[in-house]
Amino acid sequence: MISKTISFAICTFLVLLFISKSEAVKCYQCSSDEDDKLRYEDNCGAYRKFNELNHIAIDCSSDESHMPGSFCLKRTEQSPRGFIWDGRWRQVIRRCASVADYGVTGVCNWGIYENGVYWEECYCSEDECNSSNIQRLSLTIALFSIVGLVFHRLLM
């Protein structure tokens, strides 16, 4: 049986192994209203699946970021055709965000404006996490859960 001191040392080592140096989060940055020149292209995933190969995630603390921040944001707005200012009925914005409006990341919030436009905002805090509709589970959290479960079983 493994002693508690050895298991604590192993857990501490694993935690230090997974801790990386502090860097800003990298997010995709685009907006479907930027597609005015190529009117029928969907570069930000408003109508078709977002293609990560066509975009480079931007470091949110760099000068390239439209808005510096520590989170990623994906915002979707949808209304009847022709209602939104550019003639489209759906708009997607992906960018960095400095503060989650609702104080929580890793979840999506939604609502309806008084004019009938449906909106949804998803905040997340991992690199490239604003690329999809599904919030990704952190690999680190999954590994820690498995390691913790294994050590718990060994100590019992």
58-59 and 26-27 beta bridge pairing: antiparallel
pTM of the model: 0.64
Q: How far, in Å, CA of 47 to CA of 61, rounded?
A: 29
What would you report as the CA-atom Rg of the chain, rounded to the nearest whole angstrom?
20
Task: Please report which helix (H) or strand (E) contains residue 75, including its range.
Answer: strand 71-78
CA pair distance 129, 69, nearest whole angstrom = 14
14 in any annotated domain: no
Considering the domain boundaries, does residue 92 fall inside one? yes
**Residue 50: which CATH number?**
2.10.60.10
- How many structural domains are present in the chain? 1
Nearest residue to 119 (alpha-carbon basis) of 96, 140, 143, 102: 102
The answer to whether residue 2 sits within a structural domain is no
Is residue 32, in this structure, part of any structural domain at all?
Answer: yes
Hey, which residues does 109 pair with through a beta bridge?
121
In a domain, 132, yes or no: yes
- Within a domain: residue 94? yes
Tell me which residue range forms the domain holding 93: 23-137
Q: What residues in the chain have per-residue pLDDT under 70?
A: 1-23, 34-40, 80-88, 100-105, 133-152, 156
Q: Is residue 149 part of a domain?
A: no
Distances 5 to 2, 9, 14, 27, 96 between C-alpha atoms, Å: 8, 6, 14, 40, 42
Q: Note whether 114 and 128 are within 8 A (CB).
A: no
Place of tokens 């935690």: 15
Q: Is residue 68 part of a domain?
A: yes
